[in-house]
Amino acid sequence: MFTGIIESVGRIVSRRPLGQGIEFEIDTGFDLTSDAIGDSVAVDGVCLTITRIKGSIFTADASSETLTRTTLGQMRPGGRVNIERALTLQTRLGGHLVLGHVDTVGTLLRKESKGESISLSVRYERAFSKYLVEKGSIAIDGVSLTINEVPQDTFTVNIIPHTAVSTSLTLKSSGDRVNLEFDVLGKYVENLLHKDRTGNLEDLLKKQGFFAKE
């Protein structure tokens, strides 16, 4: 599990075919001596498992499923990626709960300066619109951001100066694809309503004891 607060902008060192997947070598830019084989690292929002470590570089495998559902398959040596290691019980939860399981790939439509911030407009599959709410959370390439507007099949977010210099998002251009992970809390609410079959949130909450019995 992750927070969406990026630790560094890393670099793809190499990629090699591995069956139907790809083995990546990624330079994090920081010392990995406190990390271990088997640890999880989010790379542009995609949860990968460390298989080897050498200095600041780790190796991880991306399966064919991961390559199909994310942007990792298009990454080439030299490409810049957002890096975040899995949170610990001592970690401040500064962003929101991010699983590293990408839901879909969106497309950056516009990047505009808004004062000191940068506004991004992203197009996504409308089937996921139920998970988007104004002032809610979303992870874009692993970065925890607040949704400003949700017009039709797009949404907008603002990138503050700190986020701009601490992540790879501002390196993106119109037409670039980005990994999207929607807030897991919304997915659980949807699942509970689906299992309840009534689709009525108030009735479901009553069954769970959140309303006093009449």
Write the CA distances from 6 to 17, 45, 133, 177, 203, integer angstroms: 27, 10, 23, 19, 39
Q: What's the confidence (pLDDT) of residue 185?
A: 86
Q: What's the confidence (pLDDT) of residue 89?
A: 81
Structure tokens that stand for 154 in this block:
């797009």
The pLDDT profile of the chain, 214 residues, written as one tens digit per residue, is: 999 999 999 999 999 999 999 999 999 999 999 999 999 999 999 999 999 999 999 999 999 999 999 999 999 999 999 999 999 888 888 889 999 999 999 999 999 998 899 999 999 999 999 999 999 999 999 999 999 999 889 999 999 999 999 999 999 999 999 999 999 988 887 777 766 566 566 666 677 666 655 5
- Say which residues have a Cβ less than 8 Å from residue 197's Cβ, sequence separation at least 6: none
Q: What's the confidence (pLDDT) of residue 197?
A: 61
- Cβ(43)–Cβ(167) under 8 Å? no
**Bridge partners of 22?**
17, 62
The secondary element (H helix, E strand) that includes residue 206 is helix 201-207
Domains of the chain by start residue, with CATH: 8-85 (2.40.30.20), 104-187 (2.40.30.20)
The secondary element (H helix, E strand) that includes residue 58 is strand 57-62
